[in-house]
Amino acid sequence: MRTRILFCLILIMISFSFSSAQKPGKKVTITGHVVDGTQAYVANAMVMIDGKKTDKFTNAKGYYKIKVTPGNKTIGILTTTNGSVEEPLDGRNTINFTFQGSVAPQPGKADPGDETVDIGYGSVRKKSMTGSVSKIDGTNPKYASYRNIYDMLRGEVPGVQVSGTSIRIQGASSLMLSTEPLFVVDGMVVNSIADIQPYTVKSIEILKGSSASIYGSRGANGVILIKLVGGNDN
């Protein structure tokens, strides 16, 4: 009788050990940042686990975040220009990478939520802004063909209505008599943008709603942020 009980206990222990071994472990989050030999951020680089590609990429600041299982052994970062670097996981939660030499910009686009928007009084992350933001890069050579800044706004910037020299941001309205937005050029509020030549424009951003609330009542009709080539931000 005692032998039978002992045999049953052994079977139960073996069964429990087998089921425990088959149960997948809890995933662990790994974070870190990636730079090159000049300490520049490496954005849009792919994260690899055990030599296999994943759908995770570094953001604009070279930061990555990914979950791994206890069975995973290595983590790596893959670029299209400088190959890859790899590190053993070894139970670590933070693993940083440094490529040798300079890494050229990678194709693709990092997480847009981590981009920053210059609002004149500083910068905020786009993901923290609940209002609308649109932006164009004014360095495109074709923009120089516009006769003036108003033609450029009319032809290139979404969400803006331009009639002559009158500008109105769609969806931005207030009880004020004027419908003109607030103009901020290189961080300075200006009354007019008529003297700005298209070829001197580095970028244009449109803020409305809560995104423009940093300017108080002055931003009730929206805000047009303009950066000039060689402006104060350079």
Mean pLDDT, residues 62-79 taken together: 93
Is residue 110 assigned to a domain?
no
Task: Take residue 76 and report the two structure tokens written for it.
Answer: 């790596």
Q: For residues 210 and 124, state if they share a domain.
A: yes
The CATH number of the domain holding residue 86 is 2.60.40.1120
Domain boundaries, position 47: 28-98
In a domain, 88, yes or no: yes
β-pair partners for 182:
223
User: Are 156 and 79 within one domain?
Assistant: no
Do 86 and 137 lie in one domain? The reply is no
Look at residue 11 and tell me if it is in a domain: no
For the chain, give the mean pLDDT: 78
pLDDT at 88 over 90: yes
Please indicate, yes or no, if residue 108 is contained in any of the structural domains: no
Q: Does residue 102 carry a pLDDT above 80?
A: yes
What is the tens place of the pLDDT at every residue in 148-198?
A: 999 998 888 877 889 888 998 876 555 555 678 999 998 888 999 999 998
* pLDDT for the residue 20: 44
Instruction: Please list, residue by residue across 170-197, b when 16 or more beta carbons sit within 10 angstroms of its beta carbon and e when fewer do.
Output: eebeeeeeebbbbbbbbeeeeeebeebe
Same domain, 40 and 132: no
Same domain as 94, residue 128: no
Q: Residue 223: which CATH number? A: 2.170.130.10
Point out the least confidently predicted range of 75-89, 91-105, 128-142, 160-174. 128-142
Rounded CA separation 54/68 (Å): 11
**Residue 233 domain flag:** no
Calculate ∠ Cα 9-12-16, nearest 5°: 140
pLDDT tens sequence across 4-30: 655 555 655 655 554 444 445 789 999
18 assigned to some structural domain = no
Nearest by Cα to 64 from 51, 54, 74 = 54
Do 84 and 121 lie in one domain? The reply is no
Q: How many domains does the chain fold into?
A: 2
